């Protein structure tokens, strides 16, 4: 078997970190090759080198027997390498056709392009209207835009960076059919993910990266998920555990909540109802952009709800802003760490003060009690194993996982009665994620009512008592998480969003 | 008071002249903002263009060379802004304000020897018999080349932004610079070119003030026209044709209130003088009052600093 792409000894160092250290592997035509590793293992840097966005310090790439040194993405595309990005590569205000034209070297006239988009989307079962504005599309549809953008260039190597993080299980199934068909046509696929089951069902070969180094190669079909996880993490993981599930009385009640989204491309909440009892963890799943941010805003008080829509112990709190809600122990940790949950350029002490001021008694007569704020920040750092030189460091200087531990710890330590968290372990490595999940479970154990909004279904199944899904701003009826099948969850999340299976015979 | 002295045909013809400086500055700034850069230095670039154009026109005796010089001068000034904000990644708002102050000071210095001089005249284009057509003739065919150039520029900007690949790339850079970078577009280079285009347009607008509209040089003669151009772009929801409407509205009311002043209307002069600013902003605010639709048109990366590393 001759290889399509060969990497030999690729090395890339950034100040302070070696992102890739002597990485070598090869991909054959038609092979689906997995690049497996935790966040920060160097997967993204590696594919950026292949796509010409980053220049390697050392090492050699060969494509089809010729030396391959793309100076820019344009050169990589010309050589037949296409990439579907995890985020950041679509333009909300532009139409589907315009977005696709931007990713092509010599796009045809807009009219012809629209026809070709329709044709390709038919062939691969990815229906798409070329005239629609991308900002109005669902996450799954946006991904179709990216995939079709790649397919229109007849790539020989398709790189997919975490493609399924935004899809429902049904949509994942259809995506896999498309990918298998492409691979049967001879297109090689480099598939990046940390979802082990997916890799086992899709990929022919896998290269495992840890801290920038290749730590293993295997045929994922011959390994179990836990063996793969161990290769990836380097040690066995203990899943979070939970002693009992006794719920108290109803704490938080949301009834028929409808709020228009402040963002032109956001999703309005439509008739959302839920009840939350003390000690209960309610997991809310759903594809990103289906109202998660809006729901968090309505519960945290950032967006005021119509009177009577949100009640705590029967008292109406709909019209309270975030600070009064914090005062009565309704706390929240939003998804975006830098800029929403924490102020990036302020120190950890200041960030601890910003949400803890009231409940931790960190101010008096309008003056900040700095020693107390510092002590609170240190308590979080110690209690949640936040790796940082000290509390005076800026929030921006922490790695994603450490900052997330800080953000969650800050709320947990304020003894909340209701805690709402959005994407608590997004972009966090496995051991930190396990610690965060355990702290959420412990909190519920002590009688706090918790809502966990997440796109990671495995996480939700692991920690939640009840599960509901957001789909286009509507919340499904919560059901006990125990015993829910993945198909049922997928249907709750809105099923396949009218995708079809590929029409071409492989 | 004698309102009959106001001739509507002359009024319309002269409003086009009055509107041309801000029209030029605004269309330049529109392109800059569509590329995602907020340049608050329009006023400074206009006045620098005004003195560069004036000085060169006086020295060479050729208004055409003056107009070219005004574009080069203001484009060079905008290049300072481009270098600071795009290469050194300084704050765009602060840098833009500094550019305005710098431009006002620099122009005053350059203009020391030019106060009270009359520049060479810029002649209207001779359309021959077309000028004789009743109504349309005096309105459309009695202007100099810059007026027509400004109209052509509006049409060209509209067409380029809407139909061409260059326009699409420009909008893409302004919409999401990270994505544009990931696709391999040179964000910084595209933005610097847009900034220089904006500078050249503002400079031409300034020179039109000093060479045609006034025509002489006085310190600070742009008198806030650059700021009006900036406001125009925002309230026109970044649409070239609305910029045209807004600029002509502003020009029209300016000319009308001057006529009313001359006719001796019993309204205090101060109110009449402020009316163009007030009414233009008011009309544009109403036009762009649908906030969610206006937000759709606003370049999403406007004013944000771009780091190529991410």
CATH number at residue A334: 3.40.50.300
Please indicate, yes or no, whether residues A213 and A268 belong to a single structural domain of this protein: no
User: A with B: how many residue pairs have Cβ under 8 Å apart?
Assistant: 57
**Mean predicted confidence (pLDDT) in A441-446:** 90
Residue A497 belongs to a domain: no
Asked whether residue A437 carries a pLDDT value surpassing 80, the answer given is: yes
Residues 79-138 of B with CB under 8 A from A: none
Q: pLDDT band at residue B1, thresholds of 50, 70 and 90? A: low
Please indicate, yes or no, whether residues A129 and A59 belong to a single structural domain of this protein: yes
pLDDT at B43: 95
pLDDT at A506: 36
**Cβ–Cβ contact A104 with B under 8 A:** no
Backbone angles phi, psi at B190, to 5 degrees: -60, -40
Asked whether residue A1 carries a pLDDT value surpassing 90, the answer given is: no
**Which domain range does residue A458 map to?**
250-492
**Mean predicted confidence (pLDDT) in B69-76:** 96
Q: Are strands A250-259 and A367-368 parallel, antiparallel or unpaired?
A: unpaired
Residue pLDDT, tens place only, B172-225: 999 999 889 888 889 999 999 999 999 999 999 999 999 998 889 999 898 889
Residue A451 belongs to a domain: yes
Do the Cβ atoms of A93 and B296 come within 8 Å? yes
What is the SS3 assignment for B145?
helix
Please indicate, yes or no, whether residues A161 and A36 belong to a single structural domain of this protein: yes
Residue A243 belongs to a domain: no
Considering only CB atoms, which chain A residues are within 8 Å of B173? none
Please indicate, yes or no, whether residues A410 and A439 belong to a single structural domain of this protein: yes
Do the Cβ atoms of A88 and B178 come within 8 Å? yes
Domain boundary residue among A233, A263, A287? A233
**Cβ–Cβ contact A53 with B under 8 A:** yes
> Between vectors from CA A109 to CA A103 and to CA A111, what angle results, nearest 5°?
105
Q: Domain ranges for chain B, please list them.
A: 3-122+135-297
pLDDT at A505: 41
Tokens of B220: 């600070």
Domain boundary residue among A233, A259, A286? A233
Residue A503 belongs to a domain: no
Do the Cβ atoms of B183 and A89 come within 8 Å? yes
Is the four-CA dihedral B220, B223, B225, B226 of positive or negative sign? Answer: positive
B22 vs B280: CA distance, rounded Å: 12
A306 vs A257: CA distance, rounded Å: 7
Do the Cβ atoms of B179 and A90 come within 8 Å? yes
Asked whether residue A331 carries a pLDDT value surpassing 50, the answer given is: yes
Of the candidate CATH numbers 1.20.1250, 1.10.3470, 3.30.1710, 3.40.50, the domain formed by B3-122+135-297 belongs to 1.10.3470
Do the Cβ atoms of A93 and B175 come within 8 Å? yes
A451 vs A464: CA distance, rounded Å: 9
pLDDT at B87: 92
pLDDT at B291: 60
Q: What is the ipTM of this complex?
A: 0.80
Q: How far is CA B167 from CA A102, A267, B71, in A?
A: 11, 30, 22
Residue pLDDT, tens place only, A34-83: 988 877 778 888 888 998 888 889 888 988 888 888 888 888 888 889 88
Instruction: Return mean pLDDT, chain B.
Output: 89
Residue pLDDT, tens place only, A280-295: 999 998 887 788 889 9
Option in A85, A88, A101 nearest B168 (CB): A101
**Cβ–Cβ contact A85 with B under 8 A:** yes
Considering only CB atoms, which chain A residues are within 8 Å of B180? 91, 102
Please indicate, yes or no, whether residues A378 and A286 belong to a single structural domain of this protein: yes
Residue A241 belongs to a domain: no
B292 vs A347, higher pLDDT: A347
pLDDT at A504: 47
Asked whether residue A216 carries a pLDDT value surpassing 90, the answer given is: no
Q: pLDDT band at residue A105, thresholds of 50, 70 and 90? A: confident
A175 vs A173: CA distance, rounded Å: 5
pLDDT at A224: 82
Considering only CB atoms, which chain B residues are within 8 Å of A102? 168-169, 172, 180, 183, 185
Please indicate, yes or no, whether residues A161 and A223 belong to a single structural domain of this protein: yes
Residues 163-182 of B with CB under 8 A from A: 165, 168-169, 171-172, 175-176, 178-180, 182
pLDDT at B310: 45
Q: pLDDT band at residue B103, thresholds of 50, 70 and 90? A: very high
- Which residue in A has a C-alpha nearest to residue B178's C-alpha? A88
- Give the gap in angstroms from C-alpha A72 to the nearest C-alpha of chain B: 6
Residue pLDDT, tens place only, A220-242: 888 887 788 788 777 766 666 66
Q: pLDDT band at residue B102, thresholds of 50, 70 and 90? A: very high
Instruction: Return mean pLDDT, chain A.
Output: 85
Q: Which long-range contacts (CB under 8 A, 24 or more apart) does B176-181 make?
A: B176/A88, B176/A90, B176/A91, B176/A92, B176/B300, B176/B301, B177/B36, B177/B301, B177/B304, B177/B306, B178/A88, B178/A89, B178/B306, B178/B310, B179/A88, B179/A89, B179/A90, B179/A91, B180/A91, B180/A102, B181/B306, B181/B308
**Mean predicted confidence (pLDDT) in A255-269:** 85
pTM metric for this prediction: 0.76
Please indicate, yes or no, whether residues A221 and A367 belong to a single structural domain of this protein: no
**A94: Cβ–Cβ under 8 A, 6 or more apart, which residues?**
A102, A133, A134, B168, B171, B172, B175
Indicate the DSSP class of residue A125.
T
Asked whether residue B168 carries a pLDDT value surpassing 90, the answer given is: yes
**Mean predicted confidence (pLDDT) in A167-176:** 82
**Cβ–Cβ contact B297 with A under 8 A:** yes
Please indicate, yes or no, whether residues A196 and A257 belong to a single structural domain of this protein: no
Backbone angles phi, psi at A310, to 5 degrees: -120, 120
Q: Are strands A81-84 and A157-161 parallel, antiparallel or unpaired?
A: parallel
Domain count, chain A: 2
**Mean predicted confidence (pLDDT) in B220-248:** 90
Please indicate, yes or no, whether residues A172 and A295 belong to a single structural domain of this protein: no
Asked whether residue A497 carries a pLDDT value surpassing 60, the answer given is: no
Please indicate, yes or no, whether residues A45 and A187 belong to a single structural domain of this protein: yes
Please indicate, yes or no, whether residues A171 and A110 belong to a single structural domain of this protein: yes
Residue A502 belongs to a domain: no
Please indicate, yes or no, whether residues A289 and A190 belong to a single structural domain of this protein: no
**Mean predicted confidence (pLDDT) in B292-301:** 71
């Amino acid at each position: 078997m001759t290889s399509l792409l060969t990497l030999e000894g690729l090395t890339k160092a950034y100040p302070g970190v070696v992102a890739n250290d002597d990485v070598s592997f090869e991909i054959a035509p038609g092979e689906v090759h997995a690049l497996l590793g935790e966040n920060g293992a160097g997967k993204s840097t590696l594919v950026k080198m292949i796509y010409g966005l980053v220049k390697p310090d050392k090492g050699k790439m060969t494509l089809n027997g010729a030396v391959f040194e793309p100076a820019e993405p344009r050169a990589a595309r010309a050589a037949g390498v296409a990439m579907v990005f995890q985020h950041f590569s679509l333009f909300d205000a532009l139409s589907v056709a315009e977005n696709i034209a931007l990713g092509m070297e010599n796009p045809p006239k807009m009219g012809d392009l629209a026809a070709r988009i329709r044709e390709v989307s038919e062939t691969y079962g990815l229906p798409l209207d070329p005239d629609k504005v991308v900002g109005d599309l669902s996450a799954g549809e946006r991904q179709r835009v990216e995939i079709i953008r790649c397919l229109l260039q007849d790539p020989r190597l398709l790189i997919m960076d975490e493609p399924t993080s935004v899809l429902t299980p049904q949509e994942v199934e259809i995506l896999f059919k498309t990918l298998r068909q492409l691979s049967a046509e001879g297109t090689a696929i480099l598939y990046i993910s940390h979802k082990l089951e997916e890799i086992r069902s899709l990929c022919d070969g896998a290269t495992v990266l840890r801290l920038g180094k290749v730590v293993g190669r295997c045929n994922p079909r011959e390994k179990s998920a836990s063996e793969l996880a161990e290769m990836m993490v380097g040690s066995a993981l203990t899943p979070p555990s939970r002693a009992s599930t006794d719920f108290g009385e109803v704490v938080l009640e949301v009834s028929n909540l409808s709020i228009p989204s402040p963002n032109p491309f956001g999703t309005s909440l439509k008739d959302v109802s839920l009840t939350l009892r003390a000690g209960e963890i309610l997991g809310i799943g759903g594809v990103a952009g289906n109202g998660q941010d809006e729901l968090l805003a309505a519960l945290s008080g950032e967006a005021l709800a119509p009177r009577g829509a949100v009640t705590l112990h029967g008292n109406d709190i709909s019209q309270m802003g975030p600070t009064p809600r914090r005062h009565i122990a309704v706390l929240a940790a939003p998804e975006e760490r830098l800029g929403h949950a924490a102020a990036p350029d302020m120190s950890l002490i200041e960030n601890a003060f910003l949400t803890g001021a009231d409940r931790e008694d960190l101010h008096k007569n309008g003056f900040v009690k700095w020693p107390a704020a510092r002590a609170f920040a240190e308590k979080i750092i110690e209690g949640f194993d936040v790796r940082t030189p000290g509390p005076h460091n800026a929030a921006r200087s922490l790695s994603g996982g450490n900052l997330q531990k800080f953000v969650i710890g800050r709320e947990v330590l304020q003894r909340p009665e209701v805690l709402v968290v959005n994407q608590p372990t997004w972009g966090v490595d496995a051991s930190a994620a396990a610690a965060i999940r355990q702290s959420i479970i412990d909190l519920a154990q002590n009688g706090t009512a918790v809502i966990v909004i997440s796109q990671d279904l495995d996480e939700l199944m692991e920690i939640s008592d009840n599960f509901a899904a957001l789909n286009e701003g509507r919340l499904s009826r919560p059901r006990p998480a125990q015993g829910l099948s993945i198909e049922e969850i997928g249907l709750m999340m809105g099923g396949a969003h009218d995708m079809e299976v590929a029409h071409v015979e492989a | 008071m004698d309102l009959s002295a106001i001739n509507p045909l002359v009024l319309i013809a002269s409003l086009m002249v009055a509107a041309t400086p801000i029209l030029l500055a605004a269309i330049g700034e529109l392109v800059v903002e569509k590329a995602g850069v907020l340049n608050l230095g329009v006023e400074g670039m206009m006045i620098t263009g005004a003195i560069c154009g004036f000085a060169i026109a006086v020295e060479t005796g050729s208004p055409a060379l003056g107009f070219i010089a005004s574009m080069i001068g203001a484009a060079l000034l905008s290049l300072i802004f481009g270098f600071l904000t795009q290469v050194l990644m300084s704050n765009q708002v602060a840098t833009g304000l500094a550019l305005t102050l710098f431009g006002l000071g620099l122009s005053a210095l350059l203009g020391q020897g030019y106060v009270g001089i009359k520049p060479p005249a810029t002649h209207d284009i001779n359309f021959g018999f077309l000028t004789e057509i009743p109504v349309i003739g005096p309105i459309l065919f009695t202007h100099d080349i810059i007026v027509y150039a400004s109209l052509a520029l509006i049409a060209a900007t509209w067409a380029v932004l809407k139909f061409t690949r260059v326009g699409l790339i420009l909008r893409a850079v302004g919409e999401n610079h990270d994505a544009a970078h990931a696709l391999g577009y040179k964000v910084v280079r595209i933005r610097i070119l847009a900034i220089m285009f904006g500078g050249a347009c503002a400079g031409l607008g300034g020179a039109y003030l000093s060479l045609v509209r006034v025509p002489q040089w006085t310190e600070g003669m742009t008198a806030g026209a650059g700021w009006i151009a900036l406001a125009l772009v925002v309230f026109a929801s970044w649409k070239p044709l609305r910029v045209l409407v807004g600029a002509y509205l502003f020009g029209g009311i300016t000319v009308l209130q001057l006529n009313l002043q001359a006719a001796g209307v019993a309204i205090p002069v101060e109110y009449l003088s402020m009316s163009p600013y007030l009414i233009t902003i008011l009309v544009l605010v109403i036009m762009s009052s649908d906030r969610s639709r206006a937000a759709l048109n606003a370049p999403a990366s406007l004013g944000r600093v771009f780091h190529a590393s991410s």
